[in-house]
Chain A
């Protein structure tokens, strides 16, 4: 096809991304036009077959990719989309999908998680959570979410990436307001969209500025392969194209990087733009599981990974990443430890662990960040779905103060939830352990002056996270039975589809550690050169995939991590395992600090107070009140017409005196003027 990519004669890459959309459109047509009454089986059948086919194609195309060589990429073009401009600024964005190691691994992971979430969702029909109407809507939106993510993952150019990005944003908004008849849900949707919009425009600004800079350097390209080779060519050829204006420092890449960072922070729910996720977590459980594991939060990080070649030369932008990541990790862990609402608690743990991913990318450990993102995705999907079972069994109860003692009747769920909580905080042998440990090793070997501060903060946050998850777990499953009004018979483990989907996820969550791009864990097993999936993926990323930290230093890190997990979990067990929820604390200071933490330091309210209200007040009082009403309506229009009435009309009125002679005179004069002018 061209020097950077390989065209496979009959490429199926496009169908990975398109199939979910076909299913979504089919749902849309079935609801909107045909109004067919379908059986539950055919409703989920449409979406499940599409996503299963996507997964199958992902597997097949990975073999294609291995066949053509890992340094290559497979391109699959549907034709032109938008093109225009002339000369040095002309561009053409095609609907082209590319498959390289990075996108291949992400495609596999996303379609696999989506598949299990879909299977789980089927179970919701059985217990009446989903009806035929909401089932259509649910599956259409899930398809949209997964399809948008896959478009973004497979996008070959910047505009297609933006397309996938906005589809994910719209789908997230739709899910946040899924129960649109409730006021909180509709508000959550609006918050999600507006915050997402900030990120969209950050991304759009980054894309446009990058394209503008490249066209100034006479390389107007939009595709990733074009941009990467342009970067190689432009390297060391003068910095003029990187200047914002003449003589300014060559900061274009930093500005573009900051735009990307802004975009990524919104989608990954990072401070200070994190608050949409706890709001949106009130949506349906399968959507939550997908958004917080494999779609919405993934696209934010994937964007940074895709641009790792650019971020590598944008240290200021990466500094912002580290700051945001550290703050989010610490604050979101605290927020999680003070939550009573189960979905919000899980949402804050997502923010927190994504903060670690963001830190990892900020320090330049791209492959480690990608690795944690993937292992977190599997574990988070599993944990959310298990806790979803609890919520559904308790008929929508989300307050963990009103749960307790479920381990007695829901044994399988108990085991799954305990495993999920342990896995999430990074307990060995679950996969998150390997990825968190690897990031710590990367920080330790970096030459940063603040590396020990970072490591300490991360360990502290993980300890708090362990406390938060332990607290939730013990309150829900241990102690006394506290949920009133529900008979013990109703509290039982799920069977059928729901259980199958979860079991698959749990197995993956355990074994996903083999994805590790690091070689460190090879030596205990006697493997000298591990050719893991992570290593394969790292081929598309900048930097060394393996932190070269061995011996006692590494073991100290691992021990530190384990101690902090044990401490956090131990405190939670000591405080809650036996006694359960003991009622509100009596001390005002404790209550106050819990309230502050629960709202994550009132960031959302701060925006409302500082940004939204003043803007509305400005519009209402200054613009509408003063300019529109007073100035324009009263002074200009009324005053102008008053003046006109006074001076112009009163003069003209004299002409209307009713005497025929004066009218005739006026008419004659007019004709004379016109004729003389025409004849000149």
Chain B
């Protein structure tokens, strides 16, 4: 077995397999009458496994990835249920590569950040983390709709367990809300899957859920199935709503603030990053190429939904008094912004959305960790309980400022790149809305600044805030590890852009091939042809071959 051909399945399976091995060893030790593995071993080994996974992602995928190639790479088939059209198909494009690297890096950070909050049942907690990592990585790597749904469902269980077992106040209510809304989403996904299966069986004679035609397997893909415009409309709607439950897209967001308020720090970190990114990837990988006509038709509406979500969440965050809920609404806001970017349906908008999901995800995760450290010291997350913390906790104040400035979108920090590209993309197709977005960004700046000022500036007037201890070595390391990618993307974004753009091009390419009227371009209906200078303006260069990719530099 050549390791390089199975790198994806190896990476995906590793955490879960390690969890099972640990469990088995423990049981075996119990069985032969010895004491089970001590908790510290579980902790250390669990963390080690996640770090090894991250190492594999970096060495095997990040360095092995060919940015000049279009389409999925490292494609492999783990065959079972081929008759049914199901089965594991792994493969990644540039978008998934970035999401995987981010999530694989954040899982150990989340585990370390949560370590002190986990009281009791450390063994099951480590197993939960490892299974969660497997299912999130599985979501990013599946190129088969059914295995995507499989991982979608399996990622839900560890999260509910984590929140329900180790969460804070209101965890039962939050978990039950999340379970309700997520089960609706799951049902929607399954529904779309089986409609597609029927259609493929009708048209191709084979049942398939594959996104790429793999010669070894069925040899056909879902992209060969044609869906009528009418069917596309409601299928896209169901799919968008199902994925929107997890994104979460306003008005399906109501579970998120409660979830973040109840979730332990580590879970919040993953909820704000991998969880969101997986849902966004679902839109990019399945909703857009499978139902292109509907996506084009729904584009303007989706833009409006995205902008409304951004403005709405920003306004609500403006008056939040509890830190975790405030950052939860920040998440809702930036997801809305990313959906706005996706809805522009052009290269820059989609690229911007992906970069935005990456960098803002890391920044909000950083904020959650900082809030966790504050909660650990003060036992509360009410904004009113803090004030003047820059004096006793200057390092904490520094990292908070970095995260906030990145979320606000200051240049040289990661947030700027995503904002810039989304705005550039939106100017091409949604000019009026991009002006609205710019205005909304002022509000976003002011609420983040307000909370920063309330926590860190001013006099230390609460007795509980005197003599607080600044971040310790582990907390510093975690936050430094999250600051580095933010700064790196801000200072030198080209490596990421070079990997995301071909993937985005490929998505738009597939949409363009399958859509009956071609994708709308910025020049359409704008009388641009009358100008003498308009020498073949290429507004949307869909269908660039690999040769053309070199020209982008």
Q: Which of A190, A212, A234, A616 contacts B427 (CB 8 A)?
A: A212
A658 within 8 Å of B (CB atoms): no
**Neighbouring B residues of A628 by C-beta, 8 Å:** 254, 316
Residues from chain A with Cβ under 8 Å of B180 in the complex = 637, 640-641
Q: Which of B84, B428, B434, B531 contacts A241 (CB 8 A)?
A: B531
**Distance (whole angstroms) from the CB of B119 to the closest CB of chain A:** 30
Does A166 contact B411, Cβ atoms closer than 8 Å? yes
- A181-220 vs B, Cβ < 8 Å mask (1 yes, 0 no): 1110111011001100110010011001101100111100
The interface centre, meaning the residue of B411, B441, B459, B460 with most chain A CB atoms within 10 A of its CB, is B411
**9 chain-A/chain-B pairs, Cβ below 8 angstroms:** A84-B497, A86-B347, A87-B544, A197-B441, A204-B438, A218-B533, A218-B535, A245-B526, A641-B180
Q: Which of A302-310, A363-371, A618-626 makes up part of the contact surface? A: A618-626
Name A's interface SS.
Answer: helix
Chain A's nearest CB lies how many Å from the CB of B387?
A: 9
In the complex, B538 has a CB within 8 A of chain A:
yes
B245 an interface residue at 8 Å Cβ cutoff? no
A84-B494, A183-B459 given; 9 more Cβ-contact pairs under 8 Å? A180-B390, A208-B427, A209-B427, A211-B424, A237-B531, A238-B531, A245-B431, A618-B315, A633-B254
The answer to whether the Cβ of A449 comes within 8 Å of any Cβ in the partner chain is no
At the interface with chain B, which of A88-96, A281-289, A331-339?
A: A88-96
**Once the chains are docked, how many angstroms separate the CA of A32 from the CA of B526?**
54
Determine if A82 and B493 form an interchain contact, defined as CB atoms under 8 angstroms apart: yes
Please name all residues of chain B whose beta carbon is closer than 8 Å to the beta carbon of A664 when the two chains form the complex: none
B43 at interface (Cβ–Cβ under 8 A)?
Answer: no
| Interface contact A637-B552, CB-CB below 8 Å | no
Contact call B445/A216, Cβ cutoff below 8 A: no
Note all chain B residues with C-beta closer than 8 A to A183: 458-459
In the complex, chain B residues whose CB is within 8 Å of the CB of A608: none
Q: Which residue of B lies closest to A233 (CB)?
A: B533
The 9 A-B pairs of least Cβ separation, nearest first, read A240-B531, A87-B541, A186-B457, A87-B538, A246-B527, A88-B538, A238-B531, A619-B315, A163-B411
A244 at the interface (CB under 8 A from B): yes
A81 interface residue (CB < 8 Å to B): yes
Would you call B528 and A240 a contact (CB within 8 A)? Answer: yes
Report the minimal beta-carbon distance from B178 to chain A, rounded to whole angstroms.
11
A422 at the interface (CB under 8 A from B): no
Whether a CB of chain A sits under 8 angstroms from the CB of B439 is yes
Contacts of A198 in B (CB 8 A): 442
B161 to chain A, nearest CB (A): 21
Partner of A84, one of B251, B456, B532, B552: B552
Q: Would you list which residues of chain B between 235 and 252 have a CB under 8 Å from chain A?
A: 251
Q: Is the CB of B505 within 8 A of A86?
A: yes
Which of the candidate stretches B53-61, B270-278, B362-370, B415-423 sits at the interface with the other chain?
A: B415-423
B449 at the interface (CB under 8 A from A): yes
Contact mask B430-461 → A, CB, 8 Å, 1/0? 01001100110111011001100100111110
Q: Which residue of B has the minimal Cβ distance to A85?
A: B348
Instruction: State which size class the interface on A falls in.
Output: 35 or more
Residues in B whose Cβ lies below 8 Å from that of A67: none
- B462: interface (CB < 8 Å): no
CA distance A204 to B410 in the complex (A): 11
- Report Cα–Cα, A611/B537, bound state, in Å: 42
Judged by a CB distance under 8 angstroms, whether B377 is at the interface is no
Q: In the complex, what's the smallest C-beta–C-beta distance from B530 to chain A, in angstroms?
A: 5
Residue in chain B with minimal CB distance to A640: B180
Identity of the chain B residue whose Cβ is nearest the Cβ of A620 in the assembled complex: B319
B315 touches A218 (CB 8 A): no
Contacts of B423 in A (CB 8 A): 204, 208
Bound CA–CA A182/B453 (angstroms): 11
Q: Which residue of B lies closest to A31 (CB)?
A: B394
Establish whether residues A201 and B531, one from each chain, have CB atoms under 8 Å apart when the complex forms: no
> In the bound complex, what is the Cα–Cα distance between A217 and B523 (angstroms)?
11
Q: CB of A55 within 8 A of chain B? A: no
Instruction: Give A239 to B388 CA distance when docked, in angstroms.
Output: 55
Q: Which of B84, B319, B390, B501 contacts A678 (CB 8 A)?
A: B84
Nearest Cβ on chain A to B480's Cβ, whole angstroms:
10
Bound-complex Cα distance A636 to B184 (A): 14
CA distance A247 to B428 in the complex (A): 17
Q: Is the CB of A246 within 8 A of B494?
A: no
B interface footprint on A544-575 (CB within 8 Å = 1, 0 otherwise): 00000000000000000000000000000000
Knowing A163-B412, A615-B443 are in contact, say whether A181-B527 is a contact too (CB < 8 A): no
Contact B539 A238, beta carbon cutoff 8 Å: no
Q: A87-B540, A181-B388 are in contact. Are A92 and B553 (CB under 8 A)?
A: yes
CB pair A159–B541 under 8 Å, yes or no, is no
CB of B351 within 8 Å of the partner chain: yes
Question: Inside 8 A of B395's CB, which chain A residues have their CB?
Answer: 32
Given A619-B315, A619-B318, A624-B319; A181-B505 close (CB under 8 Å):
no
- In chain B between 386 and 416, which residues have their CB closer than 8 angstroms to a CB of chain A? 388, 390-391, 395, 398, 405, 408, 410-412
- Nearest chain B CB to A276 CB, angstrom units: 13
Nearest-Cβ distance from residue A189 to partner chain B, whole angstroms: 7
Chain A minimum-CB-distance residue to B454: A186
